[in-house]
Amino acid sequence: MSVRVERDGHVVIITLDRPHARNALDPATSEELLEAFTAFKDDDSQWVAVLCGAGEHFCAGADLKAARGGRRRIPEGGITREYWTTKPIIAALQGAVFGGGLELALCADLRVADETARLGQLEVRWGLMPGAGGTQRLPRLVGLGVALELVMTGEPVDAQRALQAGLVNRVVPAGQARAAALELAATIASRAPLAVRRAKEATLRGLSMPLEDGLRMETLVASLLAGTADLQEGRRAFSEKRAPRFEGH
């Protein structure tokens, strides 16, 4: 198995476990990754996912040694393509975050990098181009200019430049990315899970809408929380000046 799955309460930790190959993605690993995230999506007791890489690197990209004919093999239906969930995902980044590894990190909602992280789309160095979402997710996250620089030069950036560009949310000392991501996940998992999911859904769907339509959609999505047990618990906890105990319904 190239993907390890662990549980910590309502948080699921999904770890790429090919440190000997810098966690490069071969077809089997990509399929295992999709299976792990599909299970996360379908399990109501799993509220937040943290994606990690074992060893010194997050993911060095596609495993070109496993590719055929000089092309990367991107499994159809993989997480970088059709996968969608309203549940929050956090990526913990260290070392190499290259090519398909960066595209995988872009599928997360939040990214925590340690000081050793280097992030880049290196494909043009080898006669390739990003083909697992890099040309689409990068400009939506960091803007057109920075995205084109990364895609067309094939030059990676360090963690601080990634932070400045908005490519990562936080930078922590070396070796602390996983712990910091888990701390962030624990904070999110302490909030009302249905509210978190609806907020993520409204935010992402609104990106493709004019503001007026987005505001209307936001109102409709927010109304779906009316009558939920978690909303009632939140109100009771607020009036009683205590921490709420959410159950996800």
Residue type, 140: R
Copy the structure tokens of residue 19: 């440190």
What CA–CA distance (Å, rounded) separates 218 from 38?
Answer: 26
Q: Exactly one of 32, 35, 76, 103 is catalytic; which is it?
A: 103
Nearest in space to 188 (alpha carbons), one of 173, 200, 176:
200
What CA–CA distance (Å, rounded) separates 52 from 33?
Answer: 11
Burial 30-41 (b: 16+ CB within 10 A, else e): bebbbebbeebe
Pure H helices in the chain: 27-42, 100-106, 134-142, 144-153, 159-165, 177-189, 193-206, 211-223, 229-240
Q: Which residues contact 126 (CB under 8 A, 6 or more apart)?
A: 64
By CB atoms closer than 10 A (0-12, 13-18, 19+), residue 172 is: buried
Q: Exactly one of 123, 149, 201, 218 is catalytic; which is it?
A: 123
Does 35 participate in catalysis according to the annotation?
no
Does 218 participate in catalysis according to the annotation?
no
Catalytic residues: 103, 123
